[in-house]
Amino acid sequence: MDKKSFISQFDRTDIRVESSTRVYDGFFKVDEVVLKHALFAGGESEPVKRELLERGDAVAILPYDPKTNRLIFIEQLRIGAYRSSASPWLLEVIAGMIDKPESAEEVAIREAEEEAGLTIERLVPMLNYLSSPGGTTERLYLFLGVVDSEGAGGIFGLPQEQEDIKVHVIDFDESMALLQQGIIDNAATVICLQWLALNKGRIDSELEVC
């Protein structure tokens, strides 16, 4: 099968939402959804109940200095890693929620400044993906951010958001080693690094021309 030609036999019209009730309304929002959907064998399912985390969409940026072949990451505490990681302070790409009337590109530029003190010279769209569609609506938009890494580093974050962020500047080859060793193990960062590894030759050539 040609993977480019895949189109599901179903679409949004093959789902019938019978009810949607907000059961938690805090920093995160949780809806209880009851639905029926078309079946591959024909007909319609019985009512299916699902809890759905509504958290909006997000942006992630991997800052890259093509002149020095260095990448910039941030390190911060992630409570979701507390149970299964040796250290819940993770090495990550810069990220932020699209929770204002801004485009994904505008959020990327703002978050790079807030979380790492960086000025993005050029944004290169990577891809976008659903983070965990079995339970949340969130879609992440990934960008490569071309930066000058000279002088990068330090501690950043917004006190009013209780952020405590340390900036790291790491060579590309060392970054890939951290990925292969499993030290970098959060989804957006893994995907960004894999995308850059696949596209680095093309990107470096394009940036040379520019």
Q: What angle do CA 160, 165, 169 make, to 5 degrees?
A: 150
Catalytic center residues: 161
> What pLDDT was estimated at residue 5?
83
**In one letter, which amino acid is 81?**
A
d(CA 91, CA 189): 8
Which has the closest alpha carbon to 73: 122, 129, 115?
A: 115
The confidence score (pLDDT) of residue 208 equals 82
pLDDT score, position 23: 97
Domain with CATH 3.90.79.10 in the chain: 58-209
Residue that wins the pLDDT comparison between 75 and 4: 75
Q: Characterize the bridge pairing of strands 58-65 and 139-146.
A: parallel
Q: Which two tokens stand for residue 167?
A: 């900036």
Helix (H, G, I), strand (E, B) or coil at 59: strand
DSSP conformation letters of 94-157: EEEE--SS--HHHHHHHHHHHHH----SEEEEEEEEES-TTTB--EEEEEEEE---TT--EEE-
- Give the residue from 29, 35, 33 showing the smallest Cα distance to 53: 29
142: buried, middle or exposed (CB in 10 Å: 19+, 13-18, 0-12)?
A: buried
CB atoms inside a 10 Å sphere around CB 108: 25
pLDDT in tens, 168-184: 999 999 999 999 999 99
Find tokens 């952020």 and name the residue: 163
Yes or no: say if 33 and 50 are a contact pair by the CB < 8 Å rule.
Answer: yes
The CATH topology of domain 58-209 is: Nucleoside Triphosphate Pyrophosphohydrolase (3.90.79)
SS3 174: helix
Q: Which residue has the tokens 């059961």?
A: 23
Q: Is the pLDDT of residue 210 over 80?
A: no
**pLDDT over threshold 60, residue 3:** no
Residue 106 has what pLDDT?
96
Q: Are strands 165-171 and 70-77 parallel, antiparallel or unpaired?
A: antiparallel
Least confident of 92-106, 152-166, 177-191, 194-208: 152-166
pTM here is 0.90
Q: What is the pLDDT of residues 66-111, one digit of tens each?
A: 999 999 999 999 999 999 999 999 999 999 999 878 999 999 999 9
- From the DSSP assignment, how many helices (H) and strands (E) are in the chain? 3, 11
Give the closest residue to 65 by CA, choosing from 181, 191, 189, 203. Answer: 203
pLDDT at residue 1, as a whole number: 47
